[in-house]
Chains A and B, each alone.
Chain A
């Protein structure tokens, strides 16, 4: 009896020691995650109800920031621009990366295919600011590479970033250029995970490549597509670097995006409360999109 009790106490002492050591392992991450990822969310929500310029303590003004936001057009305009931007980039980069990955996996298994994959990935590692700089120069109305090509084919030069209609799509092109390789790598890994006997069975059954794509490959890749679309929407919704460097929100307010508006309200106007209200709106929109997407995908799976 006493021996058994002693053994039990010993193990529980050991377990307690293990718990203590475990907490020590997690502690640094806990402190940093709380400080930079969790507490700021609540602080943002708090600031959004205040008038705050950092010189004086935050002054509680209730829903005034939100009322102001919904009464002027900046928020709706920037939201609409951001949604347009998402609607250009996400479908384009998703479809492109899917088609390229599937085609390379099925028809370009050799050295050349792997070279193509390496090359298509390279834009991923270019920083957004460097990308924006290079594309800015390529978009130049006078002598930019793209306009030189247009002139060569006898077309009129286009002021891509200077026209309201073309500015946002021109920025989106850079994003698509930069991210297709990233998603292609994820899709490629997914296609390679498809058991080869599944595909071979389909070939034996006489399925055409198009049938195989729509009835086998695409359904198998569904979870990956879900993830890529989610990542794409979240990433595109936060577009900042490209807009900052390429258009500065212009011409007019045609490329004002939500992230850019937050930046200008906070760090140019020093209106931290008002900017926080925009940030909270962004958070709500992203959570809503996530919720809708989860519901849609769950329903189809059932």
Chain B
């Protein structure tokens, strides 16, 4: 049954896919390799490779990557917490509470996913300016709540059994305690997925932080990254060290939570 006949077509396909995978990795291998060289030109020989962290030290200390790293971490942690809390609360309300007109409101939420970010950008910029929130973490964190997270969490709220919630209520378990001790643990896989999504969105967010947090001590990683020019007079090793630093955190997360990464995307895709 399991025996396969050898087909040259299948062999060619496997080869092509392998080639594509190599092309996917090549720019990243190149990035890491250049970050460990101290060559002025790009004609890098193997002998130029140094196992030295000098480029990283230079990027972090001299080019403000340390500050940017700190700002990015604070923004990401704040965004994940806010989105997780707000989205799971909203999803629970939509799925389990008898609010009149809730489906219409939910459809309205979903419709906002069609709106391009640039359409809301200018009014958001004006509002945050008027509120005096430019160059704050709040300016980066508050707009991270979106319809996608609420949609994702609601998919999982459906599976929380009503009987369980009713039984807990009979036992005198209060509203808030039911939500925290029964509902949240049951939707934990969705929370992990949502956290990964929010992490990536906040970590890679560029245009909004670029315009709203202009003071150099409030810049996040992609913005600091963008200030390093990549023309011929640049220290390529340091630029690539910066890029590697930016890539490192999501990559480590991906290594450990690969299943959740992929399942989350597939879920959002197949069901949406």
A interface vs B, CB < 8 Å? Answer: 15, 18-19, 21-26, 28-30, 32-33, 35-41, 43-44, 47, 54, 96, 100, 103-104, 107-108, 112, 116-123, 125-131, 133-138, 140, 142-145, 148, 177, 180-182, 185-186, 188-190, 193, 209, 224, 227-228, 234, 237-238, 240-241, 244-245, 258-259, 262-263, 266-267, 272, 275-276, 279-280, 282-283, 286-287, 290
Contacts and interface: CB of A to CB of B under 8 A. Distances in A.
Q: For the complex of A and B, list the 5 residue pairs with the smallest distance between their C-beta atoms, beginning with the closest.
A: A22-B97, A25-B93, A143-B42, A189-B266, A186-B269
Interface residues of B, number: 94
A111 to B, nearest CB: 13
B27 A134 contact: yes
Contacts of A32: 86, 142-143, 145
Contacts of A148: 42-43
Interface in B100-128: 100, 102, 105, 108-109, 112, 114-127
B86 A36 contact: no
B129 interface: yes
Given A18-B97, A21-B97, A142-B42, A125 B200 contact: yes
Nearest to A126: B247
B242 to A, nearest CB: 8
11 contacts: A23-B97, A32-B143, A36-B124, A108-B14, A120-B20, A143-B41, A145-B27, A240-B206, A266-B121, A266-B122, A282-B116
B142 A36 contact: yes
Given A126-B28, A129-B222, A279 B112 contact: no
B47 interface: no
Contact of A186 (B28, B86, B116, B270): B270
Contacts of B269: 185-186, 189-190, 224, 227-228
